Amino acid sequence: MKILQEPVLVLNANFAPINICTTKRAIVMVLTGKASLVLNGRGIIQTVSSMYPRPSIIRLGMMVKRPHPSVKLNKREIFRRDDYTCQYCGQQRRNLTVDHVIPRHLGGDHSWENLVTACAACNHHKGGRTIGQAGMQLLRKPELPSASAHYIFGRYVGSNTEWIPFLEGW
């Protein structure tokens, strides 16, 4: 069922957001006593013999120690950081690519500060040159996005606005 695959925000015992799980996993955690229901904004799931709330937010019963979250370096996150906009011409296009500001063969590394979103036309125009050699400029300096809870879980917020108060301030 698609309903059982919907995202649920998981809060630590101190109400800090730590993860996203499926509705099915959240219901199991609540039924086994590992978590408690914080917000049910989605209705119920009815079985033959019982009715269960469809959680939107759950809270773990015990505190879980986790390292400080970080944003993983991958293509999707680079596009998201750059708001799906070419960092050379400023247009939002469908055929986006990832470009190394300083090409790898010239000593550029594979890092947040050296990767930007580029449309295919700008990436082709720049080629294997630096932006200075190609006569191009970046709209914004590329940098590591903040690892705030709002950014990490932000892609789910559009369809789960009830999460916003639990994401702010972390």
Tokens describing residue 118 = 């580029």
CATH code of the domain occupying 75-134 = 1.10.30.50
Query: 100 pairs with which residues across the strands?
Result: 115
Q: What is the pLDDT along the chain (170 residues), one digit of tens a residue?
A: 587 889 999 999 999 999 999 999 999 999 999 999 998 878 888 889 988 888 999 999 999 998 888 889 999 999 999 999 999 999 998 889 999 999 999 999 999 999 999 999 999 999 999 999 999 999 999 999 988 888 888 888 888 889 888 888 77
Q: pTM to 2 decimals?
A: 0.76
Q: How far apart are CA 170 and CA 168, in angstroms?
A: 6
Assigned token pair, 106: 């010239």
The residue ranges of every structural domain in the chain are 3-68+148-167, 75-134
CA–CA dist 45, 12 (Å, integer): 25
Instruction: Name the residue among 116, 133, 117 with its Cα closest to residue 125.
Output: 133
